[in-house]
Amino acid sequence: MNKVFIVGRLTRAPEARTTPTGVSVTTFSVAVNRRQNREETDFINVVAWRGLADICGKYLVQGQRVAVVGELRTRNYEGKDGIKRYVTEVQADDVEFLDRPTGTGNSQYGGGGSYQANPQGGSSSQDNVDDIFSQEMGDVLIDDEDLPF
C-alpha cells in the first residue's frame, strides 16, 4: 500500500499551470516537522491535478497549514545538461486547509496581502477574505485539537 499523510505549512506560494492537453496541475512544498525531533524539518513537494489543482492554486498561500493525503511518487528525467535527475513527490488525493489564508503571497488577495471587494469602504479586507473563503470552502476548517494525530 502506498499512502502518505502529511501536515505542515506551505513554504512558498503554489505554482499553478496547465499542461499542453489542458489539464490543470499545481505544485507546492510543505514543511513538516519530524515527530521525534521538532527541530528537524522535511520539505516535501506536492503535486495536485485537475479540480484539486484549481482549488489549491486559487486558495492556498505561503505559510498556510494544510493536511495532504496522497501517494508517494518517484519519477526521473534528463536535464538540459544531459544528467539524469530523480524527483520524489506526493501526488495529492486530498488537501485539507487547516487554517484560513492570511492573504500573504497570493495575488488574489491583493499585492499587499489584502483583498478589497468594495474599495469605497465597508468591511475590512480580512473580513472580505474570510467571506470569500467561507463561501467556497464551507465548514472544512478544524482546530488542532480535533486532529487525530
Residues 71-111 have pLDDT tens digits of 999 999 999 999 999 999 999 999 999 987 655 444 343 33
| Distance separating alpha carbons of residues 149 and 146, to the nearest angstrom | 9
Per-residue pLDDT, averaged over 131-136, amounts to: 51
Mean pLDDT of 40-51: 95
* Domains assigned to the chain: 4-146 (2.40.50.140)
Compute the C-alpha angle 140/14/109, nearest 5°.
70
Whole-angstrom distance, CA of residue 13 vs CA of residue 1 = 30
| Threshold 0.85, pTM exceeds | no
Q: Compute the distance between CA of residue 140 and CA of residue 49 in angstroms, rounded to an integer.
A: 20
Residue 119 has pLDDT above 90, yes or no: no
d(CA 149, CA 141): 16
Is the pLDDT at 147 greater than 70? The verdict is no
Instruction: Evaluate if residue 25 carries a pLDDT over 80.
Output: yes
pLDDT at 101: 63
Radius of gyration of the chain (CA): 17
CA 2 remoteness from chain centre: 21
Contact status, residue 26 vs residue 53, Cβ threshold 8 Å = yes
